[in-house]
């Protein structure tokens, strides 16, 4: 099972030109909606607290999306360190899907944490990071700028934080398979017979009688 390790982050002075000058608002807009929708989809409890804890963590691990690993490998959490490199994901949504799935499986106590300090401790207990507990949790607790930016972006863009509704259309059979009205002739060609438990259109005198000696072995 792949383990999450804290990447060695180089603080870059240059910012990805596709990212706004304000790293907090840029990161909230880039990762926030995808992360929140994935948490909605997986049904995590206390979603607002979990979302705030996770976006702080991912912002810290990736230097607000500006680290080389985040920019080149869509990896915002040091996922899958093998001693040489980290796992590369095809896009941000791919990373978020794997990240939330792993958190729900391996770091369930962190997902259910009611504070950032409980969150940091639960991650430490399961070996998520090698930093000291005090430094890591204090670092996350101090990231109030990203917390406010995430809350602001969610408030201003509520539709981005909702799961898409699946509209089921009623099935309509093609015209060739549409039921057709049964037209019964009005003449006497069918000459209905008395009903003896068979179709009224079957002559009871010629209707096959059951073989009383027949077995079903």
Domain at 122, CATH number:
1.10.530.10
d(CA 196, CA 206): 12
The per-residue pLDDT for 164 is: 81
Assigned domain for 217 exists: no
Assigned domain for 157 exists: yes
Assigned domain for 183 exists: no
Q: What is the CA radius of gyration of the chain?
A: 32
Question: DSSP assignment of the chain, as one string?
Answer: ---B--------SS--TTS-SSHHHHHHHHHHHHHHHHHHHHT-SSHHHHHHHHHHHHHHHHTTTTSHHHHHH--SS-BT--SS-----SSHHHHHHHHHHHHHHH-HHHHT-SSHHHHHHHHHHTTS--S-HHHHHHHHHT-HHHHHHHHHHHHH-GGGGSPPP-PPPPP---GGGS-------SSSSS-PPP-SSS-TTS-TTTSPPP-TT----
d(CA 209, CA 23): 87
* Joined tokens for residue 51: 């979302």
Assigned domain for 173 exists: no
The per-residue pLDDT for 169 is: 64
The per-residue pLDDT for 17 is: 39
Q: What is the pLDDT of residues 86-105, one digit of tens each?
A: 999 999 999 999 999 999 99
Number of domains the chain contains:
1
Assigned domain for 97 exists: yes
Assigned domain for 35 exists: yes
The per-residue pLDDT for 215 is: 47
The per-residue pLDDT for 78 is: 87
Residues of the chain with pLDDT under 70: 1-21, 165-173, 175-217
Q: Residue 4 forms beta bridges with which residues?
A: 79
The domain in which residue 111 lies consists of 23-161
The per-residue pLDDT for 209 is: 55
pTM: 0.68
Assigned domain for 87 exists: yes
Assigned domain for 6 exists: no
The per-residue pLDDT for 15 is: 37
56 near 140, Cβ under 8 Å?
yes
């Amino acid at each position: 099972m792949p383990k999450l390790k804290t990447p060695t982050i180089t603080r870059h002075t240059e910012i990805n030109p596709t990212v706004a000058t304000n790293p907090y608002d840029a990161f909230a807009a880039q990762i926030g909606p995808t992360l929140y929708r994935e948490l909605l989809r997986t049904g995590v409890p206390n979603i607002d607290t979990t979302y705030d804890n996770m976006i702080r963590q991912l912002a810290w691990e990736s230097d607000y999306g500006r680290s080389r690993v985040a920019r080149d490998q869509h990896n915002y959490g040091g996922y899958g360190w093998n001693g040489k490199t980290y796992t590369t994901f095809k896009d941000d949504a791919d990373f978020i899907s794997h990240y939330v799935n792993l958190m729900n499986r391996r770091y369930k106590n962190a997902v259910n944490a009611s504070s950032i300090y409980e969150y940091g401790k639960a991650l430490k207990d399961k070996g998520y990071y090698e930093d000291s507990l005090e430094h890591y949790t204090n670092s996350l607790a101090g990231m109030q700028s990203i917390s406010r930016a995430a809350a602001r972006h969610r408030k201003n863009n509520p539709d981005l934080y909702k799961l898409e509704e699946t509209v089921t259309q009623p099935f309509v059979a093609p015209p060739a398979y549409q039921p057709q009205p049964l037209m019964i002739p009005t003449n006497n060609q069918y000459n209905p017979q008395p009903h003896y438990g068979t179709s009224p259109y079957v002559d009871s005198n010629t209707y096959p009688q059951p073989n009383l000696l027949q077995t079903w072995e």
